[in-house]
Amino acid sequence: MLQEERQNIIINQINLHHKVLTTDLSKLLNVSLDTVRRDLHELEESGRIVKVHGGAVSKSFHIPFQQPKVYAREEKKEVAHKALSIFKDGMNVLMGGGTIMLELARIIPKNHKGTVFTVSPLVALEIAQRSNIRVILIGGEVSHDAYVCTGPTVISQLSELHVDIAFIGANGLSVKDGLTDHDWDVVQVKKALMKAADRTVVMCISEKMDISQKLVVNPLRAIEILITELSPTDKRMQKYAKTMKVL
């Protein structure tokens, strides 16, 4: 068996399973462990795979080490600042939960006037420090992980609400599935949030783009504006820019 042939098989296996064990390859290809190891080494040299102890993984599967920089905080702040440009005095605004929304809440000017509805106690507390903003917290069962109000109470209150614009965060956004999330309760709430608003602004860091979670909140067309830390001219944004405004 040719070396090249072997290495192609290895690449195929990795594409298939995202990972591969050195011992398995040895058996599969009927060559010694050393040969496999050497193959893996070459494939890594040419940057096609990532070698790990015991085998190798595909490049996409391998999450590169993120340097000690604080996790995506700066990106989120960047997103928040962009969102602030749509945040006008006198608006009736609905805000979801999550860390991005909290960043947005933090940078809202102290003298801003308006009304903010939110399902997040954290956002509510932050904004309540601004004396010219009425803060209405939509109450319900507080989820233990996301610290957001969920449940039928929230849904029914939101169904009686109508605001200009809703800001919500995203855990998954893709052209195929639209806005997606992994927690059933949260999905229900997000649906209700979007329904209650004329326009929806989705805010997320680019890391969440082209990712689909288990549950669908709404298709792409339900979103009017998308904000990420990337420039609107960035290549990754183009496929979204077709159906919505991006900034």
Partner DNA sequence: ATAAATAATGCACGAATCAGCAAAATAAAA
Partner DNA sequence: TTTTATTTTGCTGATTCGTGCATTATTTAT
Count of residues interacting with its own copies (CB under 8 A): 65
**19 interacts with, out of its own copies, DNA, none, CB within 5 to 8 A per kind:** its own copies
* Interaction between residue 31 and DNA (CB under 7 A): yes
Distance from C-alpha of 25 to C-alpha of 14, rounded to nearest angstrom = 11
33 binding DNA? (CB under 7 A)? yes
C-alpha to C-alpha distance for 170 and 83, rounded to whole angstroms: 14
Q: What angle do CA 124, 75, 99 make, to 5 degrees?
A: 25
- Round to whole Å and give the CA distance between 223 and 202: 7
Work out which of 17, 18, 27, 38 binds DNA, going by CB under 7 A: 38
3-state secondary structure string across 183-244: CHHHHHHHHHHHHCEEEEEEECCHHHECCCCCEEEECHHHCCEEECCCCCCCHHHHHHHCCC
Is residue 239 at the binding interface for its own copies, with CB under 8 A as the rule?
no
Q: Using the rule CB under 7 A, is 18 a contact of DNA?
A: no
Sites for its own copies among residues 143-172 (CB under 8 A): 143-147, 149, 151, 153, 157, 171
User: What six digits make up the tokens of 95?
Assistant: 């805000």
Tell which one of 63, 176, 235, 242 touches its own copies (CB under 8 A).
63
By CB under 7 A, the residues from 82 to 121 that bind DNA are: 109-111
Catalog residues that contact its own copies under the rule CB under 8 A: 2-5, 8, 11, 15-19, 21, 46-48, 52-55, 57-63, 65-73, 76, 99, 121-122, 124-125, 127-129, 131, 134-147, 149, 151, 153, 157, 171, 182
